Homo-oligomer: A and B are copies of this chain.
Amino acid sequence: MKFVIIGGDAAGMSAASRAKRHQPDLDVTVLEKTADVSYSACGMPYNIADPDRSIEDLVVRRAEVFREKQGINLLTGMEATAIDPETRTVDTRDSESQTRQFEYDNLLIATGAAPIRPAVPGIDLPGVMVLKSLAHGRAIKHFIDQWDVKKTVIIGMGYIALEMCEALRERGIDVDMVKPRETFLPWMEDHMAEQVRTEVTSKGVGLYPGHAVEKIEKANGRLAVVCPDLTLEADLVLVAIGVAPASGLAAVAGLQTSVADAIAVDARQRTSVKNIFAAGDCADAFHVVTGQRTWIPLALRANRAGWAVADNVCGIDRRLAGVAGSAVFKVFDFQVARTGLNEAEAREAGLEPASVVIKSRSRAHAHPGASDIWVHMVGDRGSGRLLGVQMVGHDGVAHRLHAPAVALHAHMTVEQFSLSDLAYAPPFGPTWDPMLTAANQLLKKL
């Protein structure tokens, strides 16, 4: 059986490796358009923060290992240009523009997502950069060293934008952040977003939400990001306004797409076309709270979906649970985390959300070293179900979030969650964990 995989990143290489573990004699071919496979993309901001570390440290497994030790036919610099579901073939073009056709019995599309670049003049100027692939990370690091970057403007204020903001500040580089929308973190409860904003500005970062970028131009030997009422100069401009699923190839081949043009897949990661699977940032997923299709491109899901495809291709029936949209990031000394729906998302899904925000402490009464921790919890008035949790604090936020994520998978009510027997010791929290305090408060509103 020929198993062809388009894309050699998290989903693609997870699928390839697992399929070969299941069936060592399986003919597995991976078509990867870049030179890099299997690296920790999420680690790039932290690597860029450290001038003494090589970006190559992020490579988890080198291409030769996949080829020689695992027997995977891994072809880098090989771009898929068309899929024909009728003839079960993939057309490709390599770095020297040579074309070649591959036949498949099962195909996995794992083309990931691509950074969105706004269509403004100057977006292609040297020094205007994005961060998605290892090549991008390499280029940014090289650019900072080569041009001795003193100042960066980041367009966007999402996870990656904020992680990169911290990374650049660690290197002593000044940072301004700009975006069109007025709200700093629109998905986050206002009071908590304000905590994060305060943290970021306290580190000397200029935050300019509510400013649409009109153009980027050269000015004074640097770059200028020009908005109607604001011009920000920089040596480097980082565009981090989000990513879009790289689903063009799939759409042209007639595969069904869904939310945000992601490739629609079922719980087995099968697309609408027989023998074609999709996984990773190019594919959608079902949300555990709403049961509806959603598109939340994150690393764990990509790995897990790759595994599921390998299982199903190899005859092991594997259906994945949905996603809860659990995400966490660090920005300076703050941990910011969310899982499930916020109030607006809950209303959109036709639910009747009620919510609370509580402030608690990261350690027990009178225990030294305690800091503030904020919990926002959303529940459904109709069913009493827990719908989502957001948390912000200096300590203990990231790992606490796992509990409500599991509760969402279990379709727990707020009351059931509030009765959970969570472990307590003074160095790690108050007797009533902040999440339980939030649940107890929320119960009064349901």
What residues of B have a CB within 8 angstroms of the CB of A424 in the complex? Answer: 42, 298-300, 328
Query: How many copies of this chain does one complex carry?
Result: 2
Question: Does A366 lie within 8 Å of B406, measured CB to CB?
Answer: no
Nearest-Cβ distance from residue A422 to partner chain B, whole angstroms: 5
Which of A91-99, A316-324, A352-360 faces chain B? Answer: A316-324
Residue on B with the closest CB to A57? B366
> Is A187 among interface residues, defined by CB-CB distance under 8 A?
no
Known pairs A366-B58, A425-B328; A300 contacts B431 (CB<8 A): yes
Most buried by B among A53, A299, A301: A299
Digitize A399-432: 1 where CB-to-B-CB distance is under 8 Å, 0 elsewhere.
Answer: 1111111110110100011011111111111011
Question: Does B57 lie within 8 Å of A423, measured CB to CB?
Answer: no
> Is A396 among interface residues, defined by CB-CB distance under 8 A?
yes
Question: Does B403 lie within 8 Å of A423, measured CB to CB?
Answer: no
Q: In the complex the two chains form, what is the Cα distance from A324 to B404 in whole Å?
A: 16
> Is A5 among interface residues, defined by CB-CB distance under 8 A?
no
- A interface, by DSSP: helix, strand, loop or mixed? mixed
What residues of B have a CB within 8 angstroms of the CB of A106 in the complex? Answer: none
Known pairs A43-B366, A300-B432, A365-B58; A320 contacts B405 (CB<8 A): no
Most buried by B among A288, A320, A424, A431: A431
Q: Which of A180-209 contact B (CB under 8 A)?
A: none
> Is A143 among interface residues, defined by CB-CB distance under 8 A?
no
Q: In the complex the two chains form, what is the Cα distance from A366 to B426 in whole Å?
A: 32
Q: How large is the interface on A (under 10, 10 to 19, 20 to 34, 35 or more residues)?
A: 35 or more
Most buried by B among A300, A326, A330, A368: A300
> Is A339 among interface residues, defined by CB-CB distance under 8 A?
yes
Q: Which of A374-397 contact B (CB under 8 A)?
A: 396
What residues of B have a CB within 8 angstroms of the CB of A88 in the complex? Answer: none
> Is A329 among interface residues, defined by CB-CB distance under 8 A?
yes
Known pairs A427-B46, A428-B330, A433-B402; A325 contacts B367 (CB<8 A): no
Residue on B with the closest CB to A327? B423
> Is A133 among interface residues, defined by CB-CB distance under 8 A?
no
Known pairs A399-B396, A409-B416, A431-B300; A47 contacts B423 (CB<8 A): no
Question: Does B43 lie within 8 Å of A365, measured CB to CB?
Answer: yes
> Is A178 among interface residues, defined by CB-CB distance under 8 A?
no
What residues of B have a CB within 8 angstroms of the CB of A238 in the complex? Answer: none
Residue on B with the closest CB to A45? B426
Most buried by B among A321, A328, A400, A409: A409
A and B contact pairs by CB, cutoff 8 A, 6 listed = A40-B426, A46-B427, A301-B421, A399-B428, A399-B429, A409-B419
Q: Other CB < 8 Å A-B pairs besides A40-B367, A330-B425, A398-B399, 14 of them?
A: A40-B366, A53-B366, A299-B424, A324-B421, A325-B421, A396-B399, A398-B428, A399-B400, A402-B402, A402-B420, A405-B421, A409-B410, A409-B419, A410-B410
Interface set of A (CB-CB < 8 Å, partner B): 10, 40, 42-43, 46-47, 50, 53, 57-58, 60, 288, 298-301, 303-304, 320-330, 335, 337-339, 364-368, 396, 398-407, 409-410, 412, 416-417, 419-429, 431-433, 435-436
List the 5 closest pairs (A to B, CB-CB), nearest first: A410-B410, A402-B403, A399-B399, A398-B428, A321-B419
